[in-house]
Structure 1
Amino acid sequence: MKRIVKRVLSVSLISVTLCLASCGNNGNAPSQTDNMASPSVPSAPTPEVPNPDTTLNKIKFKLDGETEAFSFKFKPDGAKLVDARDAEMARLTVDETQKIKIKNPADEAIGYVVSEKGYWKIKNADQTQELYVLRRQTDGDYKLETGSDRQIYRIKKRDYGYEIETPDKQSLYKVKLKNGKLSLRNANEETVLYTKDDFLPIALASFGFDELTREQQAALAYAVYLSGG
């Protein structure tokens, strides 16, 4: 009986040995060269970087009669104000604090707009003087003042948008949104500027602030647009 058991164990051991040897010679097993090579790791897909030339947005502003007046061309670092022929009128560069630097076509700084909670300040080129301040009121109205707190315009909230008035309540302009058309109209209800692009009514009101230069109007409008009013 003991001999039988020994013979069974011997046969089993031989079978296991032959099986292991067969597996070791299998073509699917890694060779010595394979073991020395670095493991193949799938590379992460390269993120697709959008081409600025194809992703820039543009907001067009037109005069009555479909004549293009100027446009905002959005850039990765801000925006450009360009005329109907696409010539640069001003460059608006935004930093991480949303302070906007206004530069002329010669790349010279001509002013700044600083955005704070509830107000926007227009400063001179060397940032030593506050020229104008647009303030949002608790009732939804706005007012434009000089840096010395002299009120220039009252911007009253209306059902149709906003009305720009003098301090003694003389109507100057109205900003109206109707059927997807946002327009700036003078006291005679004549459209002086409009856009059919997505823009804020209170931002468009900046172009009715005649005391400001066009560059200051544009920078203020852009600052208000960025902050959502």
Structure 2
Amino acid sequence: MNKTFFSGLALAAVILLGSCSNSVKRAPEVSTTSNPQTSPIAQNNPSAVATNTEKIKFKQEGGAEDFALKPEADGAKYLDGKDKELARFNVDGGGKVKIKNPADKVLGYVVTKEGYWKIENADQTKELYVLRRQNDGDYKLEDATDKEIYRIKARDYGFEVESPDKQSLYKVKVKNGKTSLINAADKPVFSTKSQVSAIAIASFGFDVLSKEQKAALAYAVNRSGGK
């Protein structure tokens, strides 16, 4: 009986030691397989950071850089072809874009709402212009009295900027991954291969605006996807 008892006890000890040994060997595997899961966003979208910081370049017909919009943590900078700052755009939590010159002086605002964008003066006491999206996919730029300044017609190639009497002023053409602003003489003003909304590019054809207002409006419209 004692021999049987000790034999059973020895067998139990062997099984217990084997179980502990397997547990020790498996422990590192648990920590190893959990490491790749620590940053699923980085795995699934490795270009997310690069996309958010990529400079949007606008080039002349010959290939020289005309100007650029460079994303910043709080908005963007409007740069000339030699990277000289022309203006900066600061965005608040509500999507309102503050336009400032390189000396940090406030020049105005672009206020984004659903379906329209308002350009206001530096004191935010006066509405200067409004870009409105129409139900048919067209857009209109109006002044503070609701007078139509430009109509922006949706075309199969992009958009066409017209005067109220339907005179063609500019065209925005999207072709082969390039978006171009074309003037009334059918000559390219600039083009970009960056992913920019065509209606945002149309803002640069609003000659009634200052260059800072054009760029700020384009930036605001592009941020909201033209909606």
Normalising TM by the smaller chain, what interval? 0.7 to 0.9
How much has 1:56 moved relative to structure 2? Answer: 1.6
Query: TM-score when scaled to structure 2?
Result: 0.78
Counterpart-to-counterpart distance in 2, 1:102 and 1:219 = 7
| CA RMSD across the alignment | 3.2
Gap runs ≥5 in structure 1 = 1-41
71, 74, 89: which is aligned to 1:77?
74
How much has 1:84 moved relative to structure 2? Answer: 1.2
Counterpart-to-counterpart distance in 2, 1:133 and 1:66 = 33
User: Which residue of 2 is the match for residue 57 of structure 1?
Assistant: 54
Counterpart-to-counterpart distance in 1, 2:189 and 2:50 = 31
Gap runs ≥5 in structure 2 = 1-30, 43-48
- Counterparts of 1:3-42 in structure 2 under 5 Å? none
The letter for the 1-side match of 2:209 is: L
175, 180, 185: which is aligned to 2:177?
180
Tell me the secondary structure at the aligned position of residue 215 of structure 1. Answer: helix
1:125-154, Cα deviation, whole Å (9 max, x unpaired): 010000000000000000001111111101
User: Which residue of 2 is the match for residue 22 of structure 1?
Assistant: none
156, 159, 164: which is aligned to 2:161?
164
How much has 1:220 moved relative to structure 2? Answer: 0.4
1:107–1:140: structure 2 CA closer, same or farther, 3 Å change rule? same
The letter for the 2-side match of 1:161 is: G
* Larger proportion of helix: 2
Counterpart-to-counterpart distance in 2, 1:186 and 1:71 = 19
1:74–1:173: structure 2 CA closer, same or farther, 3 Å change rule? same
Counterpart-to-counterpart distance in 2, 1:68 and 1:138 = 36
How much has 1:54 moved relative to structure 2? Answer: 10
The letter for the 1-side match of 2:144 is: G
Tell me the secondary structure at the aligned position of residue 224 of structure 1. Answer: helix
How much has 1:188 moved relative to structure 2? Answer: 1.5
How much has 1:55 moved relative to structure 2? Answer: 6.2
Counterpart-to-counterpart distance in 2, 1:89 and 1:98 = 21
Question: Which stretch has the larger CA shift, 55-64 or 115-124?
Answer: 55-64
Counterpart-to-counterpart distance in 2, 1:221 and 1:86 = 19
163, 186, 189: which is aligned to 1:189?
186
1:88-110, Cα deviation, whole Å (9 max, x unpaired): 11100111100000010001111
The letter for the 2-side match of 1:78 is: G
User: Which residue of 2 is the match for residue 115 of structure 1?
Assistant: 112
Counterpart-to-counterpart distance in 1, 2:194 and 2:202 = 15
Counterpart-to-counterpart distance in 2, 1:118 and 1:154 = 15
Give the % identical residues.
62
Counterpart-to-counterpart distance in 1, 2:50 and 2:62 = 30
The letter for the 2-side match of 1:201 is: A
Query: TM-score when scaled to structure 1?
Result: 0.78
Matched length: 212
How much has 1:120 moved relative to structure 2? Answer: 0.2
